[in-house]
Amino acid sequence: METKINLTEREIPSRWYNITPDLPEQLPPPIHPGTGKPIGPADLSPIFPMELIKQEVSTERWIDIPDDIIEAYKIYRPTPLHRAHRLEKALGTNARIYFKNESVSPAGSHKPNTAIPQAYFNMKEGVKRLSTETGAGQWGSSIALACNIFGLRCTVYMVKVSYEQKPYRKILMQTWGAAVHPSPTNLTQAGKKILSEDPNSQGSLGIAISEAVEDAATHEDTKYSLGSVLNHVLLHQTVIGLETKKQLELAGETPDVVIGCVGGGSNFAGLAFPFVPDKLKGKDIRLIAVEPTACPTLTKGVYTYDFGDTVGLTPLVKMYTLGHTFMPPGIHAGGLRYHGDAPQLCLLVKNKVIEAVAYPQNPVFEAAILFARTEGLIPAPETAHAIRCAIDEAKKNKNNCIVFNYSGHGHFDLAAYDNYLSGKLEDYEYSEEKIKEAIAKIPKFE
Ligand SMILES: Cc1ncc(COP(=O)(O)O)c(C=O)c1O
């Protein structure tokens, strides 16, 4: 019985899968906040390079991956697909549990899958610096790594709560050559505005996005880079699912359940989207997106147009949202504290192609500990949400083939484990009241 199913470097996908032509209905266009009209490529060009804008709006099902990107992917791809024999045994289940190990990248997560192409296409168009935000620090370290590969400078606005909880991620970014600032900062108008209202603001992904977008928009040689949510990010992440399909084939398996955690939706989409055409053709396969109860976007949000950031600088996109002013509690899965989700993913949830569930932190960490004590690997708190769900699915249906995305390791999250092990971790259920309050602040564009 094999524990790891490996592919050769020649089997790294040569094309990304674009789900746009296979969506059950057309994706509502992003809206310009000033005009109230759909935005076009010209509106995006101050902050993104043209090649990524083309990918963002492409209706081609397959998009070729340039050779230089495949060469850079070879640093860690293909990633192994593991069979979780020891976890299965501990659960006493006949279910077959597999996980795609994206934690083997230098940054420790799936994020370099899109950081590498984003840095590459910017470099090709003469951009000298990228600005970005980071939540848990996983994205910031990935873009720092990618900028270093392709010779770009990199500025990272890191959510303050994570900056303080995770100093080692900051050092990782600096080691790869990036400048890192705790957000909100006094360096941007957006940051200053937040600090004037709340000098003790712990920050959020939405605020950090506002700062990074403003930085790019106000500097000629700089573009912005986003680690999740956008179509082109999800597109790049499909290398995960495309490899997984091949690996499952080698194992003689077809999955019954595919699971991933959701912050903005990129690792989940990366694994699950390549399975969507099979499901749409009638294959009996469940695709489950897992989020925290502290930030229940898909399970309690509303499907409407909202800003991608907190201050209201980005275009409005149609998605499940908790309202762009929503301020999630400082839970340890920092990468899952985002008020919205990827529009493509939201459309598929609305059409019931994808299901969503939410878990509080304590059961999530309980699953992480069981995983660490059976499989040996210590998952990121974000990833542990997918593990919780995989365990529950394996208990419910004991004959299923279950695949989840092991989106990242938790080596820089040991303080969170310490909190859990000493019984200090609090569970948060976001109250309907607070959600209603934040949703009432969403501008009406329909
Ligand atoms: C390890 C890990 N998994 C998952 C996520 C969530 O992001 P996304 O939903 O875009 O995959 C993050 C975000 O920082 C992360 O660091």
Q: Please give the full DSSP string across 352-383, using - where no structure is assigned.
A: TSSEEEEE-HHHHHHHHHHHHHHH---B-HHH
Query: Residue 341's closest CA among 324, 325, 329, 327?
Result: 324
Asked if residue 340 has its Cβ within 6 Å of ligand 1, the reply is no
Q: Please, where are the H alpha helices in 251-354? A: 266-272, 276-280, 297-300, 343-350
Residue among 254, 260, 245 at smallest CA distance from 355 = 260
CB distance 28 to ligand 1 below 6 Å: no
Task: Determine if ligand 1 sits within 6 Å of the CB of residue 265.
Answer: yes
- Which residues make Cβ contacts (< 8 Å) with residue 326, sequence separation at least 6? 295, 339, 434, 435, 438
CA of 316 to the centre of ligand 1 (A): 22
185, 194 in Cβ contact below 8 A?
no
Residues 6+ apart with CB under 8 A from 252: none
Q: How many residues are present in the chain?
A: 446
Domain range list for the chain? 16-64+111-231, 77-108+238-440
Q: Answer for the pair 313, 47: CB distance below 8 angstroms, yes or no.
A: no
pLDDT of amino acid 165: 77
- In this structure, what are the phi and psi dihedrals at residue 357, rounded to the nearest 5 degrees? -135, 160
d(CA 78, CA 107): 15
Topology of domain 16-64+111-231 in CATH is Rossmann fold (3.40.50)
Q: Does the CB atom of residue 228 touch ligand 1 within 6 A?
A: yes
> Quick check: do 16-64+111-231 and 77-108+238-440 share a fold?
yes
The mean pLDDT values, 10 residues at a time, for the chain of 446 residues are: 95 98 97 91 93 97 98 98 98 97 98 98 98 90 98 96 87 97 96 96 87 94 95 98 98 98 97 98 97 95 91 89 86 83 98 98 97 98 98 92 98 94 90 85 76
pLDDT confidence of residue 446: 61
**CA 180 – CA 414 distance, rounded (Å):** 21
Beta bridge pairs of residue 16: 63
Q: Which of 79, 101, 267 to mutate to test the pocket of ligand 1 (most atoms within 8 A of CB)?
A: 267
Q: Pull the structure tokens for residue 171.
A: 């050092």
Q: How high is the pLDDT of residue 363? A: 98
Report the CATH architecture of 77-108+238-440. Answer: 3-Layer(aba) Sandwich (3.40)
Class of residue 423 by CB neighbours under 10 A (exposed 0-12, middle 13-18, buried 19+): exposed
Instruction: Judge if the beta carbon of residue 383 lies within 6 A of ligand 1.
Output: yes
- Outline where 84-229 has alpha helix (H): 85-91, 112-124, 138-150, 160-165, 167-175, 189-197, 205-217
Q: Is 440 helix (H, G, I), strand (E, B) or coil?
A: helix
